[in-house]
Amino acid sequence: MLGQGLVGVDLFFVISGFIMAYIQPLPLDSPRRYARFLVHRFSRIYPPLWLVMLPLLAVYRVHPEWINNSNHHQVEFLRSFLCMPQDHLPLLQVAWTLIYEVHFYLVVSIALMFRPRGRLIFGVVWFLAVLGVYCACYAGDFGGNRWLQVLFSPFSLTFLLGYFIGLWHSSRPSSSIGIALPCVLLAGCGLALASRFMPVDGYYPNVNSLYRFFYYGIPCALLVLAAVLLESATRQRFASLRHLGDESYALYLLHLPVLAVLYKVAGAIHSTSPFFPAALIVIAVILSIACATLFHRYLELKITRFARRSLEQCLGPTHERPA
């Protein structure tokens, strides 16, 4: 049951695809604009990730048995810090999704060089290429080559669904509760069936499944489409949800270390109270959000801005408006 929570990965990729297509209306038609786009994207990912990974590296040097239990405590440090394809889970386990995200950023940056029609054609060609190569190579094993597994992963198809929604919404903003509600219903039915008949197929790198795209990617895309339509129809802006969204990356980075600490504390307490597990869940949620909020406000924002300013200075002055 808890394993179904991994469907959040698919939702994350759909949302990421939507955002990439939506936030950059102007084509990246100059080297400086293209470089600035990548600076903004990668300064968003790497500096906060490294802030979390460095303490984990120190922990690993002292207690390697505390890190990466599912991969027998094996870690590829350089690839972990650079979010490169690797044979094991990264130092921060959840960062395996960032391996795909970095790949998506690099590929979609090429698409964003074009105007809307060219972006659509690029997306369709990318979708068909991934689908064709994946199917031709016997379910995407690629002889164990991790680079090819990431390059032609069905996760690209999931990302592209969000990308197509973003292109459509950018060119023709639409609002329709009549369409949104059936999308929610279909997505709910699809995810309910998936939870019963299609178990999520594990962590990186055992995630190259076309079935996962159909069972989880498409329903998640329907949910994102419904959210876009409903937001346009109701014209509501929820400040609290916006703040939580701003802190979502910090929550993503920190929730696993927080849970690991609580797990060790809970093991030391040895409580037999029937209410202890429920209380532990509540504490875990509150503590994770609190840590993410503090990390976002006092570390993530500052280090991201510093990295962005430093890298932009290397690009030289410009009159272009940054993406």
Q: Side chain identity at 4, as an amino acid letter?
A: Q
Is the pLDDT higher at 320 or at 279? Answer: 279
Top pLDDT among 306 and 212 is at: 306
- pLDDT in the model for residue 309: 94
Highest mean pLDDT among 21-35, 103-117, 309-323: 103-117
Instruction: Assess whether pLDDT exceeds 70 at residue 139.
Output: no
Average pLDDT rounded to a whole number, residues 198-207: 60
The better pLDDT of the pair 73, 122 is held by: 122
Share of residues in the chain with pLDDT > 90 (%): 59
Domain ranges of the chain: 2-237
Q: How distant, in Å, are the alpha carbons of 232, 241, 246, 285, 286 from that of 97?
A: 29, 23, 18, 21, 24
pLDDT one-digit tens code per residue, 5-37: 678 889 999 999 999 999 888 899 999 999 999
Prediction pTM value: 0.90
Q: Give the pLDDT mean for 116-139.
A: 92
Residue 206's pLDDT band, with cuts at 50, 70 and 90, is low
Percent above pLDDT 70 for the chain = 87
CA torsion sign for 193, 284, 86, 246 is positive
Please tell me whether residue 143 adopts helix, strand or coil conformation: helix
Burial class (CB in 10 A: 0-12, 13-18, 19+), 284: middle
Q: How far apart are CA 155 and CA 216, in angstroms?
A: 10
* DSSP letter (8 states) at residue 200: -
Q: How many other C-beta atoms lie within 10 A of the C-beta of residue 187? A: 19
- Average model confidence (pLDDT) for the chain? 87
* Interval 62-76 mean pLDDT: 85
